[in-house]
């Protein structure tokens, strides 16, 4: 006996509903937002970032903290170019001076592979593709050039070109762009002297252990103006590849704060804050002869 037409329609409808339900159950469903993957606006909400310590911003730098980047070896003072920049960035992120915690991290460890104990590090660390493999960088907060410092009246002090430096004994701090410039740009006939700290490099220069040292230009002006006053700036190197070397804030690889910190740096550049801080603390770093 065949089912009645109305019964057939009801059966077909039930099968259709069942098939649709099955199809919906098997279809890809919208994914729940991953932890920390909130909208950029919420992620960068001022004073509420996913920092190492809730409600605090942990900033790292090396010890000693040299001038003109930090005044009197006191990063927390707000005095010196990088101390002032650090607090300006913190303010942009919604953290007042009382919410900033300073931490000591050696220069080389700041950008070495591995999880970081800070939210960002500020310590004249130049942005490079090699370093980006291990850490994140913010937008650059300072364009810098490397310079050569030698004792006045020495053979090194008379150098006018990169070629004039090739037969000299040069030195620089380990892990720095300064050392890279010696090895990759000068390519001296003698291996560079490598020092753990710039203080050791300065002592070697004063004691005649090296003919010249390479440091960033503002540091060169401070060394020759206040620390080794019988030294002079021989000259500065051109930017390699026509691209300015920049200092960037160092963050943990894949940090949720990277975009927020970069936005803060960009905002400080756009409103003229970085230029004002530079004028206040690095005004003595005027142009030096270019070594070609």
Q: Distance between CA 51 and CA 72 in Å, rounded?
A: 28
Secondary structure tally for the chain: helices H, strands E: 10, 11
pLDDT tens track for 183-227: 999 999 999 999 999 999 999 999 999 999 999 999 999 999 999
- Element (H or E) spanning 267, and its range? helix 258-270
Fold of the domain spanning 146-238: D-Maltodextrin-Binding Protein; domain 2 (3.40.190)
Q: Report pLDDT for 5.
A: 40
pTM of the model: 0.81
Average pLDDT over every residue of 33-42: 40
Question: Does pLDDT of 35 surpass 50?
Answer: no
Average pLDDT over every residue of 62-78: 96
Same fold, 46-143+246-286 and 146-238: yes
How far lies 282's CA from each of 81, 199, 221, 229, 286, in Å? 7, 20, 9, 18, 9
Note the CATH number of domain 46-143+246-286: 3.40.190.10
Q: Kindly list the domain boundaries of the chain, sorted by start residue.
A: 46-143+246-286, 146-238
Q: Report pLDDT for 15.
A: 36
pLDDT tens track for 126-174: 999 999 999 999 999 999 999 999 999 999 999 999 999 999 999 999 9
- Element (H or E) spanning 141, and its range? strand 135-144
């Amino acid at each position: 006996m065949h089912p009645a037409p109305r019964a057939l329609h009801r059966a077909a409808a039930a099968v259709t509903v069942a098939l649709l339900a099955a199809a919906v159950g098997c279809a890809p469903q919208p994914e729940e937002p991953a932890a920390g993957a909130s909208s950029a606006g919420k992620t960068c909400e001022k004073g509420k970032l996913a920092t190492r310590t809730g409600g605090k911003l942990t900033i790292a730098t090396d010890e000693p903290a040299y001038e003109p980047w930090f005044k009197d070896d006191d990063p927390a003072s707000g005095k010196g170019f990088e101390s002032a920049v650090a607090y300006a960035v913190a303010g942009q992120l919604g953290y007042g001076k009382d919410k900033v915690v300073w931490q000591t991290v050696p220069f080389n460890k700041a950008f070495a592979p591995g999880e970081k104990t800070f939210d960002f590090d500020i310590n004249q660390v130049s942005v490079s593709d090699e370093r980006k493999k291990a850490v994140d960088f913010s937008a650059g907060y300072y364009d810098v050039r490397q310079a050569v410092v030698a004792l006045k009246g020495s053979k090194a002090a008379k150098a006018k070109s990169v070629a004039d430096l090739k037969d000299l004994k040069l030195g620089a701090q380990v892990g720095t762009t300064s050392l890279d410039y010696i090895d990759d740009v000068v390519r001296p006939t003698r291996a560079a002297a490598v020092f753990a700290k710039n203080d050791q490099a300065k002592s070697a220069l004063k004691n005649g252990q090296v003919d010249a040292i390479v440091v960033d230009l503002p540091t060169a002006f401070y060394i020759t103006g206040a620390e080794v006053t019988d030294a002079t700036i021989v000259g500065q190197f051109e930017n390699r590849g026509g691209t300015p070397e920049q200092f960037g804030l160092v963050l943990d690889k894949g940090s949720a704060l990277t975009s927020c910190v970069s936005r803060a740096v960009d905002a400080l550049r756009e409103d003229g804050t970085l230029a004002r801080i530079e004028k206040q603390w690095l005004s003595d770093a005027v142009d030096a002869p270019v070594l070609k």
